[in-house]
Structure 1
Amino acid sequence: MNAIIETNSLRRSFRVRQAGGGLRRYLKPRYNELVALHGLDLRIQKGERVAFVGPNGAGKSTTIKILCGVLYPSSGQASVCGLTPWASRRALAYKIGVVFGQRSQLWYHLPAQASFDLLAKVYELDRGVYRKRVAELSERFQIGEFATRPVRQLSLGQRMRCEIVASLLHQPEVIFLDEPTIGLDVTAKAIIRDLVRELSEELGTTVLLTSHDTGD
């Protein structure tokens, strides 16, 4: 069976300028190499739920960004839904959903529902299909009572549920969740975990979740 997500010897390093040195550091800066990923081999089958757990700085977010096509690797190969992420970023966007726990895809001063409407246009969704989809997701994630309030007024747990709904509007084959429970209390974390598990089991969506919490 072909994997829906696969990496081979994936490596990513960054050049970090050395501190200090006075005027010389501006004229002849020196750099250190920071290795974020060192030969990552990963193979995930369709419908699987995989948690990528590790401390801050372990390369979790870097991996997600490469698999989404946001970053290029320094070397190695990756495939998501049969596409090379950084070479086919636009085509891949229609096949994946992404949630970054510390960054929002929702417009801060608008209701989440308004963001959903805008994203439906971005993904060129049929109006009837979109209305049915957003109604189903709103019920599943229980966001109906606050989806019409400005995002800035929502709790972190409420916002995260709206973020996940936004990432699922176009029925992606894969959803990447980068630290989706960061900053949430125990109850909110449990709600998010349960919803993600149900999503994968019932719809067959492939899930790759990163976290520093082994409970996730």
Structure 2
Amino acid sequence: MPIIEVAGLEKTFKTREREAGLAGSLHSFVAPRYRERKAVKHISFSLEPGEVLAFIGPNGAGKSTTIKMLTGILYPSGGKATVLGLTPWQQRRQLAFHIASIYGQKSQLWYHLPPQDTFDLLARIYELDMNEYRKRRDFLVEVFDIADYVRTPARKLSLGERTRCELAAALLHKPSVIFLDEPTIGLDVIAKQRIRDLIGQLNAEEGVTIFLTS
């Protein structure tokens, strides 16, 4: 049974058009006009447990919008989707305990705190058993080789170091699916390859399903 199943998924954004000048602004206020823009156009696919999907396309192709629908952040304009048998935008809370997501432009690490403090907070949010959490945390610290800076405030870390810590944070609760929205954006070639290797390793060793955009 597919772990992710998408059929005819669409997302249309409605934007308000503004006219130039004072008279135009007044007219737009009294009788607003809207323009529709399709960000995602009728896509269908399925993903089996343990598979890795690279979702590739140019800027504006709807990659991030698709991930936001599959994680329940956005409601679609049409179509259907299930992740782990759940409808993301209707059952977002239940789904959150079984998936993880990383956005290249947005950090889940507390900027002024060490990553380990963020890990401790996430353990409580996900209601993890503390003994199991500590074992999992120590395992991920070793796998991602972040022991030297896991107690350093996130604001003092390089982008590559923060990305490794982001991945470790996302995997604390042992998600079945991880969504990665351009996780290597802004990294140099060596750091990008290291992150790709780590992603491949966690897929091979833990069987986590990976949805990656680039």
Which category of TM-score, normalised to the shorter sequence, fits these structures? over 0.9
Report the AA paired with residue 75 of structure 2. Y
Q: Please report the RMSD computed on the Cα atoms of aligned residues, expressed in angstroms.
A: 0.7
What SS does structure 1 have at the residue aligned with 2:186? coil
Report the AA paired with residue 177 of structure 1. L
Per-residue Cα deviation, 1:39-82 (whole angstroms, up to 9, x for no partner): 11010000001110111100000000000000000011000011
Identity of aligned residues (%): 56
CA distance in 2, matches of 1:186, 1:37: 30
Match of 2:113 among 110, 115, 123: 110
What SS does structure 1 have at the residue aligned with 2:43? strand
Deviation at 1:26, TM superposition (A): 1.8
Report the AA paired with residue 7 of structure 2. N
CA distance in 2, matches of 1:170, 1:42: 27
Query: Is the aligned partner of 1:190 residue 2:193?
Result: yes
Deviation at 1:33, TM superposition (A): 0.3
Per-residue Cα deviation, 1:152-203 (whole angstroms, up to 9, x for no partner): 0011111011111111000000000001011111011001100000110111
CA distance in 2, matches of 1:158, 1:19: 43
Aligned to 2:16: 17
What SS does structure 2 have at the residue aligned with 1:15? strand
Report the AA paired with residue 47 of structure 1. G
CA distance in 1, matches of 2:92, 2:148: 35
Query: Is the aligned partner of 1:43 residue 2:53?
Result: no
Runs of 4+ in structure 1 over 3 Å off: none
Normalized against structure 2, the TM-score is what? 0.97
Match of 1:171 among 137, 158, 174: 174
Aligned to 1:4: 3
Per-residue Cα deviation, 1:80-128 (whole angstroms, up to 9, x for no partner): 0110001111110011011011001111000000000000000000011
Higher CA-based Rg: 2
Report the AA paired with residue 14 of structure 2. R
Deviation at 1:19, TM superposition (A): 3.2
Aligned to 1:79: 82
> Residues 53-64 of structure 1 correspond to what in structure 2 (within 5 A)?
53-64=56-67
Aligned to 1:152: 155
Aligned residues: 210
Gaps of 5+ in 1: 212-216
Report the AA paired with residue 41 of structure 1. S
What SS does structure 1 have at the residue aligned with 2:116? helix
